[in-house]
């Protein structure tokens, strides 16, 4: 069933990044659902607005932006595969709906199960009583699939459950999806990435995300076996895309202040969940029940804001301290930062030494100053490479990857070759020289309790910073 007849007029949305975005009648019906409108109230960049005041753009705007890019990819002059009108519309809808399953503050709440409390890191899991979680929180892609296929407003707007399942299969990369079509949603040239770099650069005022979108889209090509890549002359634009992503992670996504607030919030949510307070979902099944229900519309940033507000008066001083830091925009005090750029799996780095010293010396430091271990936040960024897959992968390997495990390496058609090679294998490209280097940031923060805030907290933080200053060095 094609839910938008060819003569459908639709509407035009004016977007700050892509200009006019023309929506079909079906796309309008999807956008107008309460389930999609929820994305207006989820910030794209989590708590980055605490660092960059204008970074308040939403998953709603980003989703429309990915749709706009998909429309350009499918334009007759760029289309690389033969598609029916129904297949084209399925792809546009999958692009529009790819982020509909995001939790409040985007990835922040989704990661609660992976949070490790400082007591657990230093003293072992037994030191921090932990509830048995029968099922972890599902990832946002699985939540999105659940919303699209089970919220009645989406099913109706899409023209029935069969189409809802088909569209959800595309953005969730299920085996039931058409593999060739799914590559247009999630491939090495990820449309999601193309939009968020431009949009995040605009929202933060940081220029590093300004990629050459027009040239990349005009250079797309698909091989006979279904691999998507860019022609050889677009190699600089593709390399620029990867460096843009790298520097946006360094300056925006992993910023020390943003990271402090987000880690404080994750630790807060984990502790609150363990205590069974403030109606936070206790496990994954509770999340699934919530997103199936009429309460989905309230599952926005305000959901976490409510928990923070209530927890700021909690009887547990660590919980209250974390909540007050967020509520009053008083970031945890940075005691020590260790930045490391290495090849993968080095034997020892300043970061690993610092982490080891934190494990063995934080407890004594806390006792010396009469503090709780929970007042320390030890954070490390995920390994940051110029591309997500550090090792080489051949075109045959990429072609045979399971649908749900797409190859993130950008492909390049060198010369007249029918099949592309990974960008790291272009002999004169810069990626082959530095793609394996990994950047990581290790940071130790201090969060005052309500009793030792303001001047006392500053004095304590100064003393603590002096004592941990040499922890990145081996003795």
pLDDT tens digits, 406-456: 555 789 999 999 999 999 999 999 988 888 889 999 999 999 988 766 666
Bridge partners of 422, per DSSP, are 411
Q: Which one has a higher pLDDT value, 84 or 211?
A: 211
β-bridge mates for residue 48, sequence order: none
More confident residue, 109 or 392: 109
Residues in the chain: 475
For position 399, what pLDDT does the model report? Answer: 47
Q: What is the DSSP string of 186-234?
A: SSSS-HHHHHHHHHHHHHHT-GGG---HHHHHHTEEE-TTS-EEEEGGG
Instruction: Write the CA distances from 458 to 317, 331, 461, integer angstroms.
Output: 18, 12, 5
Residue 393 has pLDDT above 50, yes or no: no
Please give the model's pTM, rounded to 2 decimal places: 0.91
Task: Quick: pLDDT tens for 267-321.
Answer: 999 999 999 999 999 999 999 999 999 999 999 999 999 999 999 999 999 999 9
pLDDT reading at 126 higher than 70: no
Residue 247 pLDDT: 96
Instruction: Please give the share of the chain, as a percent, with pLDDT higher than 90.
Output: 72
| pLDDT value at residue 219 | 93
Query: 182 versus 270: which is more confidently predicted?
Result: 270
For residue 70, which phi and psi values (nearest 5 degrees)?
-60, -40
Instruction: Kindly tell me if the per-residue pLDDT of 383 is higher than 60.
Output: yes
Structural domains of the chain ordered from first start: 11-331 (1.10.3210.10)
- Kindly list the distances between the CA atom of residue 269 and the CA atoms of 38, 216, 319, in Å, as whole numbers in the listed order: 21, 40, 9
pLDDT of 180 strictly over 70: no
- Average pLDDT score over residue span 132-155: 93
6, pLDDT greater than 50: no
Q: What is the mean pLDDT of residues 27-52?
A: 98
Helix (H) or strand (E) holding 22: strand 19-23
Kindly report which listed range (27-36, 176-185, 412-421) carries the lowest average pLDDT score: 176-185
pLDDT band at 76 (very low <50, low <70, confident <90, very high): confident
Mean pLDDT of 61-70: 97
Predicted confidence at residue 397, as pLDDT, reads 47
- Average the pLDDT over 101-113 and give the result: 94
pLDDT band, very low/low/confident/very high, at 390 (cuts 50, 70, 90)? very low
At 400 the pLDDT is 45
So what's the pLDDT on residue 403? 42
Mean pLDDT to the nearest integer, 351-377: 95
Task: With CA atoms as reference, report the closest residue to 442 among 331, 340, 343.
Answer: 340
**CB atoms inside a 10 Å sphere around CB 27:** 25
Backbone φ and ψ for 11, nearest 5 degrees, come out as -140, 170
Q: Does 25 have pLDDT greater than 60? A: yes
Which pLDDT score is estimated for 302? Answer: 98
Q: Is 183 left (phi over 0), alpha (psi -120 to 50) or beta?
A: alpha
Say how far apart CA 64 and CA 78 lie, in whole Å: 20
Confidence bin at 405 (pLDDT 50/70/90): very low
């Amino acid at each position: 069933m094609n839910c938008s007849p060819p003569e459908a007029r639709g509407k035009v949305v004016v977007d700050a990044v892509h200009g006019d975005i023309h929506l079909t009648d079906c796309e309008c019906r999807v956008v107008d659902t309460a389930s999609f409108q929820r994305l207006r109230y989820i910030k794209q960049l989590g708590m980055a607005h605490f660092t960059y005041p204008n970074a308040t753009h939403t998953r709603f705007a980003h989703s429309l932006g990915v749709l706009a890019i998909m429309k350009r990819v499918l334009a007759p002059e760029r289309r690389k595969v033969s598609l029916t009108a129904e297949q084209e519309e399925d792809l546009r809808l999958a692009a529009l709906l790819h982020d509909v399953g995001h939790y409040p503050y985007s990835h922040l709440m989704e990661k609660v199960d992976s949070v490790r409390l400082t007591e657990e890191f230093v003293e072992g899991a037994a030191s921090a009583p932990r509830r048995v979680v029968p099922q972890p929180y599902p990832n946002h892609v699985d939540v999105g699939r659940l919303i699209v296929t089970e919220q009645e407003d989406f099913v109706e707007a899409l023209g029935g459950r069969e189409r809802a399942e088909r569209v959800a299969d595309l953005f969730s990369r299920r085996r039931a999806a058409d593999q060739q079509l799914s590559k247009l949603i999630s491939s090495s040239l990820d449309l999601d990435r193309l939009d968020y770099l431009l949009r995040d650069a605009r929202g933060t005022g940081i220029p590093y995300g300004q990629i050459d979108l027009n040239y990349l889209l005009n250079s797309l090509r698909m091989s006979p076996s279904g691999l998507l890549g860019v022609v050889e002359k677009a190699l600089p634009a593709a390399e620029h895309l990867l460096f843009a992503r790298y520097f946006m992670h360094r300056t925006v996504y992993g910023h020390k202040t943003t990271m402090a607030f987000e880690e404080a919030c994750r630790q807060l949510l984990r502790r609150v969940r363990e205590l069974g307070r403030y109606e936070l979902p206790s496990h994954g099944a509770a999340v699934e029940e919530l997103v199936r229900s009429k309460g989905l519309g309230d599952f926005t940033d305000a959901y976490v804001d409510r928990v923070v507000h209530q927890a700021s008066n909690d009887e547990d001083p660590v919980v209250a301290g974390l909540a007050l830091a967020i509520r009053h925009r008083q970031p945890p005090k940075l005691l020590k930062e260790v930045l490391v750029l290495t090849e993968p799996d080095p034997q020892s780095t300043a970061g690993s030494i610092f982490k080891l010293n934190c494990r063995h010396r934080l407890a004594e430091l806390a006792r010396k100053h009469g503090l709780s271990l929970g007042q320390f936040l030890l954070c490390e960024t995920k390994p940051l490479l110029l591309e997500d897959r550090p090792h080489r992968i051949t075109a045959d390997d990429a072609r045979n990857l399971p649908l749900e495990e797409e190859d993130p390496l950008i492909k390049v058609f060198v010369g007249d070759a029918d099949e592309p090679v990974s960008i790291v294998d272009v002999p004169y490209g810069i990626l082959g020289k530095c793609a394996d280097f990994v950047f990581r940031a290790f940071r130790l923060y201090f969060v005052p309790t309500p009793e030792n805030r303001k001047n006392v907290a500053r004095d304590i933080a100064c003393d603590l910073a002096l004592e941990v200053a040499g922890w990145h060095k081996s003795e």
